[in-house]
Amino acid sequence: MPHGPQHPPHDPAPLDGETSEQQLLTAVVELALHAVPGARWASTGVGDPAQPAASAADSAQAQAADGLQWRADEGPAADAHRTATPVVTADLTADPRWPRLAELAAGGEVRGALALPLRSGERVLGVLTVYSDVPGGIEAESDPARLDLVGEAASVLLGARQQMAELRSLAENLQVAMRSRAAIEQAKGVVAAHLGCSTEHAFEALSAVSQDRNVKLRELAALVASDPAGHELDGLLRAALAKVAARRGWPQPSS
């Protein structure tokens, strides 16, 4: 029988298209609390437990236990991340594998612990750690198949978190690219009208100034758009267009 107060039999929060990164991590924690026999508290982290990129915990007790492992620079979470295998301990306060952690954990609420590596293929994405308040409270060996399923399901959720972050980054980069392209197209029209040339020649002039002055093209385009009359950049753009025209054999622009 599981030890200590148990969590109410409600299902973990559903996931949908609007699920946030923190909700995904919280779902991993809730999954562990409902599926691991004897689990009282739980936490999960993305990346190395010593420097997680993101984390979630269900309680102050789980946060404290994570913090003790960080202070001791040893413990089940670090070993699970390093070895990519589950690590269980009957009692954090008496495990000879981690003497510094045992000393720090003495007198605390957390006793038993199980750390599961969350993997994507051979890569360890993070670690899920569950804790109990009595020695031997985590029944890790009673149902190994269930623990494998927990690890696999949590890994899927954490993988979704990584995909979400990658998609968000891609979307942001695409937005920047679209704004840059719009600014450049606007600048081409402004320069073409101001210098009396084609938009193709205007783009060549903008590119030449960008290279000569070591200024990003999108930043130069923004400057042109902010000064449609061309007073600030008139001389530079005219000189650049004349240089490009001479190199390409185009007719020289009119003054």
Task: Dump pLDDT digits (tens) for 161-191.
Answer: 566 666 566 667 667 777 788 888 888 898 8
How far is residue 134's CA from residue 169's CA, in Å, rounded to a whole number?
43
Neighbours of 210 (CB within 10 A): 17
Helical packing angle, 21-35 and 144-195, nearest 10°: 180
Q: If pLDDT is split at 50, 70 and 90, which confidence band does 132 have? A: very high
Given a contact cutoff of 8 angstroms between Cβ atoms, the answer to whether 119 and 155 are in contact is yes
Kindly tell me if the per-residue pLDDT of 146 is higher than 70. Answer: no
Kindly tell me if the per-residue pLDDT of 222 is higher than 70. Answer: yes
How far is residue 211's CA from residue 128's CA, in Å, rounded to a whole number?
50
- Of 123 and 2, more confident: 123
H helices of the chain, where?
21-35, 60-72, 76-83, 99-105, 144-195, 199-213, 217-226, 234-248
pTM for this model (two decimals): 0.57
CA 85 remoteness from chain centre: 23
Given a contact cutoff of 8 angstroms between Cβ atoms, the answer to whether 154 and 118 are in contact is yes
Mean pLDDT of the chain: 81
Domains contained in the chain, CATH given: 21-142 (3.30.450.40), 176-248 (no CATH)
For the segment 39-84, what is each residue's pLDDT rounded down to a tens digit?
A: 899 998 888 998 888 888 999 999 999 999 999 999 999 999 999 8
- Of 253 and 15, more confident: 253
- Side-chain-side CA neighbours of 90 within 13 Å: the count stands at 5
Residue 123 host element (H or E): strand 123-131
Phi-psi bin for 45: left (phi > 0), alpha (psi -120 to 50), beta?
beta
Most confident of 14-18, 100-104, 220-224, 227-231: 100-104
